[in-house]
Amino acid sequence: MSQRRYELTDEQWEQIRDLFPPYRTGRPPKLGNRSMFNAILWIARSGAPWRDLPERYGSWKTVYSRFCIWRDRGVLSNIFHAVNDEADHENLSIDSTSIRAHQHSAGAKKGL
């Protein structure tokens, strides 16, 4: 599978692939769990409305339905917690350019 913008790498997919429930009865879905999850990530990361989902992911209604099912069953929450437990904090940094204090918090005298 070619790597596209906003999609999971093979390594990332291997970490979460077992957290998705298998389909139950009826006709199997046309797109697998990875494609559906990539579609949900595309929506989340791009900020676009559901109707603007690229056609390579299939119908936006199908993706939205799967999103609702996974949300209601707690699948997305389980994925978040599993990934959060194995977080890599190596590239985490906070500096004064992202968190600023008001000038008065530096101890300046009042009334000057």
Q: Is the pLDDT of residue 103 over 60?
A: yes
pLDDT score for 99: 60
Closest residue by Cα to residue 34 from 68, 8, 67 = 8
Mean pLDDT for 100-111 is 65
pLDDT score for 85: 76
pLDDT score for 54: 92
Give the orientation angle of helix 60-73 with respect to helix 75-85, to 10 degrees. Answer: 70
The alpha carbon of residue 46 and the mean position of all alpha carbons in its chain are separated, in whole angstroms, by 11
Interval 8-36: pLDDT, tens: 888 888 889 999 887 776 777 778 899 99
Q: Is the pLDDT of residue 1 over 60?
A: no
Residues 6+ apart with CB under 8 A from 70: 20, 40, 76
Interval 44-102: pLDDT, tens: 999 999 999 999 999 999 999 999 999 999 999 999 888 887 767 776 666 666 566 66
Q: Give CA–CA dist 6/43, Å, rounded.
A: 9
